[in-house]
């Protein structure tokens, strides 16, 4: 995704920008299904259907452990956030509470990351 993203000049601030963007995701009113890992014991079928679970708290952990000098962190961040929304679409009906929350969050993310990172 580094290639796809317009090579914008100042990638020094990208880690800080990812943290800002993640904070906006976490405080969004529709973020509640995505804040913590899905409880694999409480949600029947989730473990079988979703091969790579992801959630905002896990992304925050990964960001906290990532080094600015490892330039892959930006791609990893974008891929992980999209994984949250792709998992949600796979497991939930579009016309459901969680399904709608996922679509709303993806729309919000796409807009904000374009504004902040491209």
The residues binding ligand D8Q (CB under 6 A) are: 32-34, 38, 43, 88, 91-92, 98
What 3-state class would DSSP assign to 52? Answer: coil
Provide the 8-state DSSP code for 84: H
Residue 6 is classified by DSSP as: -
* 5 vs 118: CA distance, rounded Å: 6
The smaller minimum CB distance to ligand D8Q, of residues 11 and 86, is found at 86
Quick one: 1 or 49, whose CB is closer to ligand D8Q? 49
CB of 109 to ligand D8Q, least distance (A): 15
The CA distance from 70 to 39, in Å, is: 31
Minimum distance between the CB of residue 96 and ligand D8Q, rounded to whole angstroms? 9
Nearest to ligand D8Q of 38, 74 (CB atom): 38
CA distances from 95 to 12, 91, 98 (A): 40, 12, 9
Query: Smallest distance, Å, CB 91 to ligand D8Q?
Result: 4
């Amino acid at each position: 995704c580094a290639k796809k993203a317009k090579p914008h000049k100042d990638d020094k601030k990208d880690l800080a920008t990812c943290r800002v963007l993640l904070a906006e995701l976490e405080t969004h009113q529709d973020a509640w299904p995505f804040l913590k890992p899905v409880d694999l014991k409480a949600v029947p079928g989730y473990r079988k259907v979703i091969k790579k679970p992801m959630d905002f708290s896990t992304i925050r952990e990964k960001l906290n452990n990532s080094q600015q000098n490892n330039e892959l962190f930006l791609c990893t961040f974008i891929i992980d956030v999209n994984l949250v929304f792709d998992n949600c679409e796979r497991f939930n009906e579009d016309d459901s509470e969680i399904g709608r929350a996922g679509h709303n969050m993806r729309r919000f993310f796409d807009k904000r990351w374009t504004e902040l990172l491209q």
